[in-house]
Amino acid sequence: MCCIQRYTNADFMLPNSNMPETTTTDFHLDPDIYTNETNYFFSLLGPRFDVANQSMTRSLEKKFGGVWKPIFIYSAHPGPSFMKDNFIVLNGRAKKIETALKEQIIYLQEYEDLNREFLASDLVQEIIQGLLRKQERAYIYPFTTAFLETNDPRIFILGPDSKVAKRFDDKIAQYLLFQELDLPRNRAQVFATRDELLAQTDTILPCYISASYSSGGNESGLIYSKEMLESFLGRLRDVNTAGPFLVAHIFEKMVLAPNVSAFVSDIDKTNILTISDQILRGNRYLGNVYPSIASEKHRAVIRDVTEKIGSHLSRQGFRGLFGCDFLINQSGDIVTVDLNPRRQGGYACNLLALQTRDVQLTDYELECALNKKVHIDWKEEDIQYQGCWAHSKIKPHEAGQRITQDFQIGDLPNTFQHAPSRYEAIFYAPRSILIDGYVGYVVATDVERERVLEQVNKRVSELIAANLL
């Protein structure tokens, strides 16, 4: 096990490298990475998806033979409990603040921003070129493939087509698709620019606004006044600043927020994996609880919507995992609110739950990414987890707190194999200051849904109180 060190790029340069020597980055790589017989792939998944990295490693070894190891791309400095043999901390925005504060911070990027920073990194490109001297391909395993486009055929993305994912990651494109497919949806309108939006302030309020590229409740929210609207616009990332914007009617008296995870394996071939309910704090996503308590009537709508969206995506060349979010109100109305053309927050739990039913999800993902024919002979009812599970990010309400310690308690795969059980973790380096993001993860399994949900919510609150100052 290695420890964090501070390196300059000059400490790890290939011959004739033109890498800027002034940039400093925290990273560690096997000293013989370019000459040993191990194959490497890059993982852009955060530490709560560590079990997915293990599963994809097994899938790559099964498919290609040999020994495979991930190079972890982190957005913040990992604590000793999550230190890896091969990792890079890649976060230019956080780096500027750390330099000014002379402190380590947690300021997690959106996954799309991480993708762009990854491709733009001189250090990453040097490592890729070094690996390609001994490997036929350099593989990248991301949370989302949006904004992860490359023209180098030797760089292979383990996920859906990047251009298709980017197109349908856009909230406006999603809403237009919902209209085209005549799906149950909320009332909404599109404003092309921020000026057009501001000019109509008096007529649209109150409303729910979403920027084009937002996920997990970030860069979207309820707006009740012009001041709130101006504040919202002032916080947007560059990718969202100019617009367009989706302005929706407020869906009142919401009682449930189901989520579906599904897999597209071929044209018009969509398999439902899991229907769960989201754990939300306001409009911010924290986690999921399984199974969903949506009625059979609502489940039928969810399946129908998902299959229609899956068929449309399949005809655009999309293959792999996607999901959809729904809202249900007290009157029983259901609306489709989000399409997630990517892996979702419940990815690790869905993967482990499926393994208890002898379904190795990463095997299917890898085959689709390689453009191979995938034969799926299981049905939704045959692959459901025989119990209940819930997971949640540990996300404090306020910024500015320090982590007191990092740790892992329990074994995450074992949590699903032997219910009731629990897994808890704080990921990042002790003394790190939280600016934005989450710091850890709680997962629990049980035989009763309400008990597992109560347990996760309680432990999140207790861990925040005990481990952040």
CATH number of the domain enclosing 212: 3.30.1490.20
Out of 197, 230, 248, a domain closes at: 248
Query: Has residue 51 been placed in a domain?
Result: yes
- Same domain flag for 94 and 146: yes
- Same domain flag for 339 and 275: yes
| Residue 216: per-residue pLDDT | 54
Out of 248, 264, 288, a domain closes at: 248
Query: Per the structure, how many domains does the chain have?
Result: 3
| Residue 22: per-residue pLDDT | 27
- Same domain flag for 222 and 125: no
Q: How many C-beta neighbours within 10 Å does residue 381 have?
A: 7
| Residue 123: per-residue pLDDT | 96
| Residue 239: per-residue pLDDT | 78
- Same domain flag for 422 and 284: yes
**Regions of the chain where pLDDT drops below 50:** 1-24
Query: Has residue 64 been placed in a domain?
Result: yes
- Same domain flag for 238 and 291: no
| Residue 18: per-residue pLDDT | 34
| Residue 191: per-residue pLDDT | 82
Query: Which range of residues forms the domain containing residue 306?
Result: 254-467
Query: Has residue 227 been placed in a domain?
Result: yes
- Same domain flag for 63 and 94: yes
In tens, the pLDDT along 5-58 reads: 333 333 333 333 333 332 346 899 999 999 999 999 999 999 999 999 999 999
- Same domain flag for 401 and 436: yes
| Residue 208: per-residue pLDDT | 82
- Same domain flag for 122 and 212: no
| Residue 421: per-residue pLDDT | 98
- Same domain flag for 221 and 117: no
- Same domain flag for 439 and 331: yes
| Residue 1: per-residue pLDDT | 33
> What is the rounded CA–CA span in Å between residue 355 and residue 418?
13
Query: Has residue 2 been placed in a domain?
Result: no
Q: What's the CATH number where 423 sits?
A: 3.30.470.20
| Residue 6: per-residue pLDDT | 32
- Same domain flag for 275 and 405: yes
- Same domain flag for 139 and 87: yes
| Residue 389: per-residue pLDDT | 99
Out of 116, 139, 159, a domain closes at: 159
